Amino acid sequence: MGKRKAAEAQGISIDTLSKYITDFENNLHLNLVCEKGRNCSLTPDGLRVMKELENIVDIWERFCREKGCCQKVCGKVRVGIDLSISSTIPPENVMDFFDKYPMLELEIVPLQDVEQDCKNCDVCISRQPIEKTTDLALIYKKTLSCGYFAAPQYLEKYGCPLNLQDMSENHRLVSRGNVKVYSPDFQRILKEASQVCLVSTSGAAMLNMIRFGAGIGLLPLKFKNEGLVCLSNLKCDTKVFIFLSAKRRLKDIPRVRATLDYYKDVLAAM
C-alpha cells in the first residue's frame, strides 16, 4: 500500500521505515521492495520473505498458546470502524471493560477504503461484508432496522411530513454520501427532493445535523431512545448491516479476543 501507509500503520516515520527496509535487505542480500516514483511494491523475493515471516509468526503464536504464555490481556489493539457507522455504535459498559483490562489500549481508526484499511487493523467493524478476504474472519453480524428521524425542534417549526412525497417536496433532508449502498429507496427520494441540506460520509456529522434541527435523515431505530423523533408514519424498509471481523491469525490472542467479545456484546445489545 506504499511506504506512507505502512509507516502510519507502524507508528513510525517514512525515513525510519526506509532505514529498516534497507537494513533488512542488506542483511538478507536481497532486494525486497521495488520503487517506481511515489509507488512501491514487493519484489518476488519480498513476497516470498513475507510469506515465510507470516508462517514464523503463526508458529510462534501457536507455541505461546500451547505453553500458556502471553495469556494476559495487555498491549495495543488497532480497531478500524467504518466512518458511516461510527456514531451508531455506542461505547456501552466501556468503564467496566477498561476496569477489567487496565493494561489494554484500543487505537480506534476510521475506515474509509474498507478493503485496504482493514489490512492495517486487528479488528474491523464495517458495513461491507469483508469475510471473503483470505486474511479476515467474520466474527459477528448485526442487522439494524431503520426509520426516518428528526429533532423535536425541527418538527415544532416545520411540522411532520404526511408521507414520503410530502417529505421529499416540502422538507430538508440530510444524508450519508454513500446512501445508494444501503438504501436505494432513500436514494430515489433524495434525487427528487427539493432540498438536500447535507451529504456526508461521516455518520457523526450527519447525526449532529439531525440533532440540531437541520433536517430529516435515515437512522437505525435505536435512536428512538436518544432524543430524536422517529417518523413512524413514513414507510421505511431499509436495514443496516454491521460486520465485526478480525485477522484470522490474531483473533484468538487474548487482547484481540477480549476486544472482539466486547464489541460483539455492544452490537448484540443494539
Cα dihedral sign, 182-129-127-5: negative
**pLDDT of res. 71:** 60
Q: Please, what is the angle between helix 3-10 and helix 14-28, to 10°?
A: 100
Q: Which runs of E-coded beta strand occur in 87-135?
A: 104-111, 123-126
**pLDDT of res. 64:** 65
**pLDDT of res. 69:** 52
pTM score over 0.75: no
**pLDDT of res. 65:** 64
Q: Hey, is 199 helix, strand or coil?
A: strand
N-to-C CA span, the chain: 35
**pLDDT of res. 142:** 92
| Tally of CB atoms within 10 A around 181 | 12
> What is Dmax (Cα atoms) for the chain?
73
What does each C-alpha distance from 13 to 5, 39, 195 come to in angstroms? Answer: 10, 17, 45
**pLDDT of res. 266:** 92
- What are the φ/ψ torsions at residue 236 (nearest 5 degrees)? -150, 115
Task: Chunk the chain into consecutive blocks of 10 residues (it has 270) and report each block's average pLDDT, rounded to whole numbers.
Answer: 76 83 90 84 90 83 63 84 81 89 89 71 84 74 93 95 94 84 83 88 85 92 87 91 87 90 91
**pLDDT of res. 5:** 78
Q: Sketch out the chain's domains with CATH numbers.
A: 3-67 (1.10.10.10), 75-141+241-269 (3.40.190.10), 144-240 (3.40.190.10)
Cα dihedral sign, 158-163-169-174: positive
